[in-house]
Amino acid sequence: MIIIPRSPRFQPSAFIRLIPNSATPPVAMTSKVLPIHLYSLDSYPRLRFPELKPSFLSLKILQIRCAKRSERTGKQRYPSEKKKLKLKKKTLVDIKNRDEGFWRLSKLGVPVHKDPGKDYFGVSDALLEAIAKVLEFPVSSMLPPEAFTVVRKSFDARKLVKEPKFVYTVDMDAKKLLNLEPRTWDFISRLEPKVGLVEYMPHERVPDDLISMIRNFERHEKIGSTEGGDGVLSKGSSRIETRKKPKVAVVGSGPSGLFASLVLAELGADVTLIERGQAVEQRGRDIGALVVRRVLQLESNFCFGEGGAGTWSDGKLVTRIGRNSNSVLAVMKTLVRFGAPENILVDGKPHLGTDKLVPLLRNFRRHLEELGVTIKFGTRVDDLLVDSGRVMGVKVSDTRHELHHGSKNLGCDAVVLAVGHSARDIYQMLLSHDVHLVPKDFSVGLRIEHPQELINNIQYSALATEVRNGRGKVPVADYRVVKYINEEDVETSSISGETSRSCYSFCMCPGGQVVLTSTNPSELCINGMSFSRRASRWANAALVVTVSEKDFETLDCHGPLSGVEFQRELEHRAATMGGGNFVVPVQRVTEFMQNKLSVTSLPPSSYRLGVKAANLHELFPSYITEALQHSISMFDKELPGFICGDALLHGVETRTSSPVQIPRSGSTYESMSLKGLYPIGEGAGYAGGIVSAAVDGLYAGFSVAKDLNLYQGGIESILGEAQRNMGFVKY
Ligand SMILES: Cc1cc2nc3c(=O)[nH]c(=O)nc-3n(C[C@H](O)[C@H](O)[C@H](O)COP(=O)(O)OP(=O)(O)OC[C@H]3O[C@@H](n4cnc5c(N)ncnc54)[C@H](O)[C@@H]3O)c2cc1C
């Protein structure tokens, strides 16, 4: 008989295989997986589907079965077992409204050959197959794709997996699914949460972008002073302004400064954003002049200027502060609002690339200006105006003119210091005001560069041909390696007294290039960047070793700025070894491993200002060199071919994160030693990377607004608790 499909996606051929009398017996034809109504196909056209609701509402709370844990109970349970059990209990409690809720299906694997590829974020037939498997639904083509939303897509080509695959996390809207395809009811009603695989959510997890969030928030929460009091007009609020807006100076337009400015301006502060560097248009020209003509603008370069250090970067938006946290999602959604492609919300390893960052920052700027923010580019804060232990304003000078005559004083109620880790003059200035600074651990090392093709081959083997310069089905290959080094691992383990340290790859830029991040011609340091397609011939990554205060002392660096001095010393050495003019000292990795320097020609480098062969052992104290040597040999075991004649080490990578922390209150974000000063972001030692800096700026913005009586709290109930002490967070 011919069956007339009810669903537009219905495929008769697939369905016929389910008919018991069909010539091909159905594979999955067991009462366990097939619901009764699919057996009665003779009467199919007349088949009535049961009412949906009762089945779900009458569902009993599911039993927790502790399979392997039966031997261990109560206190005997391992912490991981207790955690899982707690999670399971929590999930089960929420299941009452399952016909209204959402199901998050995780770890759905789709083999590469079946997937449309890395740039597709919709619901493909192959993904529906994986979903059907989890739901134990026999005919994937009957599942309406509209009921599913991809919330994460990653590529997994690890050697230990049988076949390279895309791994999805998908949200299933139960109500939509049941409306579009009522025949799924039975499968949904039997769906059980499984820790890490299937999770029930009563509501969809879709935090807004920050702007919508604040504006919605304003409608519901009390903002400013109490009703009838001297209210402060804030965007979206209908109250009349009856007193002057509080003035806030935000110093630095990196991610932390931009997000702090956004929150404060949205909440009604009178914000002046002060940036020593130039707007992206002029900054682009300045960076062009550096790369082509070796002209380093001291105030407009890879570290200074609109968008901060991350503008001419790979724009990786990965973070270790919790990718799924509401605060990170709010930042990501805000970036999308300003023009970032939507796929950053879904991609397992989102990145933007310089070409996408520049227009995004222009939109960000326009929005701030519309809110009334005064943006002063080419303006450097040289000093703080302090009276009776409180900041009263800032002293600024114009950086666009050679002779910086005419410093100006700007008075304000609060100063948000978001200057990044290269504003060494600011650290010095803070010390002059007795602001408490403490040296902070960070990492130093070298940047290694390989041909991208080699990394593709190491990571993907035969699948490497699918990369196609970033236009192919699979992402341009990257890597992340880490090795903990103990005393036994290296010969002269620790002159400085450190017994263990870690060596790891950092800021890997697939299809990228090595760039100069010096802010002074007598110092030389490098980093990496790439464009959105990651199409260059090279893959670079920093290989760095953790260093701490004890290590700084070995180079005779002491005091709160000992870490800065340590960086500076290494940067001077690198500049000298390169011979000046921003030429970078390099060494083949094979020769670095053997501590020799041959006269043979060097492999090509993406670094545009020239390289010079040098023995990079002379750059570092031996404990760093040995740690690097040891871990590189380990990395080669993980990534066979990592040590090869084509791989070139570039020196020196020093500005991995801030060498200083400016202690601040965990709740108010105010400096512990100077009232009215709010140190934030990477330079203050509370972030490491674009996303964590933006998140720090976001929370700080709310805190400052609270202190200024523009807002009365409650954001943590929406965004979650801010992470404290994020200074060691790496992206
Ligand atoms: C080349 C490169 C590539 C990178 N790639 C990535 C990446 O792919 N992903 C990632 O997550 N992170 C990356 N980073 C790190 C990332 O850029 C930083 O972690 C992040 O920008 C820190 O944000 P921030 O707001 O704290 O400080 P910054 O971004 O450093 O911003 C500080 C701003 O303050 C300004 N400023 C400093 N002093 C003064 C003053 N006295 N007066 C006025 N203005 C001042 C500076 O000009 C600067 O614009 C990269 C960094 C570099 C240099």
- Please check the confidence at residue 223 and state whether its pLDDT lies above 70: no
Atom of ligand 1 minimally distant from the CA of 697? 25
pLDDT of residue 461: 92
Q: 420 C-alpha vs ligand 1 centroid, how far in Å?
A: 5
Q: Which residues fall within 8 angstroms of residue 294, CB to CB, at 6 or more apart? A: 581, 582, 609
Q: Render pLDDT for 303-353 as a digit per residue (tens, 0 to 9).
A: 999 999 989 999 999 998 888 888 999 999 999 999 999 999 999 999 999
322 burial class (0-12, 13-18, 19+ CB within 10 angstroms)? Answer: middle
pLDDT of residue 97: 63
pLDDT of residue 12: 36
- Please check the confidence at residue 66 and state whether its pLDDT lies above 80: no
Q: Which residue among 250, 263, 276, 332 is best mutated to probe the pocket of ligand 1, counting the most ligand atoms within 8 A of its Cβ? A: 276
Q: 280 C-alpha vs ligand 1 centroid, how far in Å?
A: 13
Instruction: Round to whole Å and give the CA distance between 17 and 27.
Output: 9
pLDDT of residue 725: 58
Phi first, then psi: what are they for 103, rounded to 5°?
A: -115, 130
Q: 393 C-alpha vs ligand 1 centroid, how far in Å?
A: 23
Q: 341 C-alpha vs ligand 1 centroid, how far in Å?
A: 22
Looking at the chain, the whole-number percentage of residues with pLDDT higher than 70 is 81
Partners of 394 in the beta sheet? 384, 410
Q: What is the mean pLDDT of residues 233-239?
A: 39
Q: What is the mean pLDDT of residues 645-658?
A: 96
Element (H, E) at 261: helix 255-266
Q: Which residue among 300, 304, 374, 650 is best mutated to probe the pocket of ligand 1, counting the most ligand atoms within 8 A of its Cβ? A: 304
- Please check the confidence at residue 399 and state whether its pLDDT lies above 60: yes
- Please check the confidence at residue 54 and state whether its pLDDT lies above 90: no
Instruction: Give me the helices (H) in 306-376, please.
Output: 326-337, 354-370
Atom of ligand 1 minimally distant from the CA of 682? 26
556 burial class (0-12, 13-18, 19+ CB within 10 angstroms)? Answer: exposed
One-letter identity of residue 57: L
Q: For ligand 1, atom 35, which residue shows the shortest CA distance?
A: 252
Instruction: Round to whole Å and give the CA distance between 623 and 98.
Output: 58
Q: For ligand 1, atom 33, which residue shows the shortest CA distance?
A: 252
pLDDT of residue 403: 60
Q: For ligand 1, atom 48, which residue shows the shortest CA distance?
A: 308
Q: What is the mean pLDDT of residues 147-172?
A: 93
Partners of 104 in the beta sheet? 171, 199
Integer angstrom CA distances of residue 450 from 475, 509, 650, 715: 17, 11, 11, 45
Q: For ligand 1, atom 12, which residue shows the shortest CA distance?
A: 689
What confidence category does residue 723 fall into, taking pLDDT thresholds of 50, 70 and 90? confident
Q: For ligand 1, atom 37, which residue shows the shortest CA distance?
A: 419
pLDDT of residue 533: 93
One-letter identity of residue 625: T
What confidence category does residue 385 fall into, taking pLDDT thresholds of 50, 70 and 90? very high
pLDDT of residue 87: 66
Partners of 501 in the beta sheet? 485
Instruction: Round to whole Å and give the CA distance between 36 and 55.
Output: 15
Q: 403 C-alpha vs ligand 1 centroid, how far in Å?
A: 26
Atom of ligand 1 minimally distant from the CA of 655? 53
Q: 618 C-alpha vs ligand 1 centroid, how far in Å?
A: 29
- Please check the confidence at residue 60 and state whether its pLDDT lies above 70: no
Q: 620 C-alpha vs ligand 1 centroid, how far in Å?
A: 25
Q: 544 C-alpha vs ligand 1 centroid, how far in Å?
A: 19
Decide: 455 and 464 in contact? Cβ < 8 Å.
Answer: no
Q: What is the mean pLDDT of residues 523-533?
A: 96
Q: Which residue among 259, 298, 303, 374 is best mutated to probe the pocket of ligand 1, counting the most ligand atoms within 8 A of its Cβ? A: 303
Nearest to 155 by CA among 332, 349, 322, 343: 349
pLDDT of residue 2: 38
Instruction: Round to whole Å and give the CA distance between 319 and 329.
Output: 11
Instruction: Round to whole Å and give the CA distance between 426 and 550.
Output: 24
| Least confident piece of the model among 208-222, 346-360, 635-649 | 208-222
Instruction: Round to whole Å and give the CA distance between 456 and 639.
Output: 11
Phi first, then psi: what are they for 527, rounded to 5°?
A: -155, -165
Q: What is the mean pLDDT of residues 105-109?
A: 96
- Please check the confidence at residue 24 and state whether its pLDDT lies above 70: no
Q: What is the mean pLDDT of residues 697-713?
A: 93
Atom of ligand 1 minimally distant from the CA of 312? 1
pLDDT of residue 188: 85
What confidence category does residue 497 fall into, taking pLDDT thresholds of 50, 70 and 90? low
Phi first, then psi: what are they for 74, rounded to 5°?
A: 50, -125
Q: 310 C-alpha vs ligand 1 centroid, how far in Å?
A: 5
Q: What is the CATH number of domain 245-400+422-433+666-719?
A: 3.50.50.60
pLDDT of residue 494: 53
* Helix and strand element counts for the chain (H, E): 20, 23
Q: Render pLDDT for 577-624 as a digit per residue (tens, 0 to 9).
A: 999 999 999 999 999 999 998 777 899 999 999 999 999 999 999 999
Atom of ligand 1 minimally distant from the CA of 307? 49
One-letter identity of residue 139: V
pLDDT of residue 57: 37
- Please check the confidence at residue 36 and state whether its pLDDT lies above 70: no
Instruction: Round to whole Å and give the CA distance between 247 and 201.
Output: 42
Q: Render pLDDT for 458-488 as a digit per residue (tens, 0 to 9).
A: 999 999 999 999 999 999 999 999 999 886 6
Atom of ligand 1 minimally distant from the CA of 310? 17
- Please check the confidence at residue 406 and state whether its pLDDT lies above 70: yes
One-letter identity of residue 619: L
Q: Which residues fall within 8 angstroms of residue 581, CB to CB, at 6 or more apart? A: 294, 609, 610
pLDDT of residue 400: 81
381 Cα distance to chain centroid: 29
Q: 425 C-alpha vs ligand 1 centroid, how far in Å?
A: 15
pLDDT of residue 33: 35
pLDDT of residue 466: 93
On average, the pLDDT of the chain sits at 85
Domain chopping of the chain, boundaries: 12-59+98-201, 245-400+422-433+666-719, 441-653
What confidence category does residue 95 fall into, taking pLDDT thresholds of 50, 70 and 90? low
Partners of 579 in the beta sheet? none
Q: 384 C-alpha vs ligand 1 centroid, how far in Å?
A: 21
Looking at the chain, the whole-number percentage of residues with pLDDT higher than 90 is 68
pLDDT of residue 365: 98
Partners of 444 in the beta sheet? 545
| Least confident piece of the model among 151-160, 275-284, 491-500 | 491-500
Q: 53 C-alpha vs ligand 1 centroid, how far in Å?
A: 53
- Please check the confidence at residue 648 and state whether its pLDDT lies above 50: yes
Q: 254 C-alpha vs ligand 1 centroid, how far in Å?
A: 5
| Least confident piece of the model among 242-246, 335-339, 425-429 | 242-246
pLDDT of residue 89: 62
Q: 598 C-alpha vs ligand 1 centroid, how far in Å?
A: 37
One-letter identity of residue 409: N
First CA to last CA across the chain, in angstroms? 59
Atom of ligand 1 minimally distant from the CA of 527? 1
Atom of ligand 1 minimally distant from the CA of 691? 11
Integer angstrom CA distances of residue 231 from 223, 235, 238, 243, 704: 8, 13, 10, 7, 17
Q: What is the mean pLDDT of residues 233-262?
A: 78
Atom of ligand 1 minimally distant from the CA of 380? 42
Q: Name the residue with higher pLDDT: 59 or 263.
A: 263
Q: Identify the residues whose C-beta falls under 6 Å from ligand 1.
A: 251-257, 274-277, 302-305, 308-310, 313-316, 380-381, 418-420, 423, 426, 507, 515, 517, 527, 529, 681-683, 687-691, 693, 731
Decide: 339 and 146 in contact? Cβ < 8 Å.
Answer: no
SS (H, E, C) 123-163: CCHHHHHHHHHHHCCCCHHHCCHHHEEEEEEEEECCCCCCC
Q: 309 C-alpha vs ligand 1 centroid, how far in Å?
A: 3
* The token pair that represents 91 in the structure block: 């999930």
DSSP states of 179-244 as a string? HH-GGGHHHHHH---BTTTEEEESS------HHHHHHHHHHHS--SSPTTSS----TT--SPP-SP
What confidence category does residue 45 fall into, taking pLDDT thresholds of 50, 70 and 90? very low
Phi first, then psi: what are they for 625, rounded to 5°?
A: -60, -45
